[in-house]
C-alpha cells in the first residue's frame, strides 16, 4: 500500500480504503508478500485489467480529441516531453507527496 500511496501522492489510509473498494468490486485482489509478511501485493483481476484497458482507451481518445485540433505532431511530442520533465522534477522534490 505504501508504494501505491507514494505513486499517487495520497495517504496510506486512503490507499487502503481504495483497494478495499477495488476488492469489493472484484477488480483487484491482495496476495501475501512472500518477502515481507507485514505487507501484501496487489493484483488486478481479469475484470480489473479489462476495465483498466477500457479506461486507458477512453482517456487517450478524449485527450487526442482535445489536443490534436490544436497541436501538430511535433508540438504533441514536445508537450509529452515537457510533462515528463515536470513530473520528474516534482517527484525529485517530493512535491505533492502527503506528509502523513
Tens digits of residue pLDDT in 8-51? 888 889 999 999 999 999 999 999 999 998 888 999 999 999 99
Structure confidence at residue 3 as a pLDDT band (50, 70, 90): confident
The pLDDT of residue 31: 94
Tens digits of residue pLDDT in 59-88? 999 999 999 999 999 999 999 999 999 988
pLDDT over threshold 80, residue 96: no
The pLDDT of residue 97: 67
Predicted structure pTM score = 0.72
CB atoms within 10 A of CB 15: 20
Burial of 29 (0-12, 13-18, 19+ CB in 10 A): middle
Q: Which residues make Cβ contacts (< 8 Å) with residue 15, sequence separation at least 6?
A: 1, 2, 4, 5, 8
Structure confidence at residue 99 as a pLDDT band (50, 70, 90): low
Amino acid at each position: 500500500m505504501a508504494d501505491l500511496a507514494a505513486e499517487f501522492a495520497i495517504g496510506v489510509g486512503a490507499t487502503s480504503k481504495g483497494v478495499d473498494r477495488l476488492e469489493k468490486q472484484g477488480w483487484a485482489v491482495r496476495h501475501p508478500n512472500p518477502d515481507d509478511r507485514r505487507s501484501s501485493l496487489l493484483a488486478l483481476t481479469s475484470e480489473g485489467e479489462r476495465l483498466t484497458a477500457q479506461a486507458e482507451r477512453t482517456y487517450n481518445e478524449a485527450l487526442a480529441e482535445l489536443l490534436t485540433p490544436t497541436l501538430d505532431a511535433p508540438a504533441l511530442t514536445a508537450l509529452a516531453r515537457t510533462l515528463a520533465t515536470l513530473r520528474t522534477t516534482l517527484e525529485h522534490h517530493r512535491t505533492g507527496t502527503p506528509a502523513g
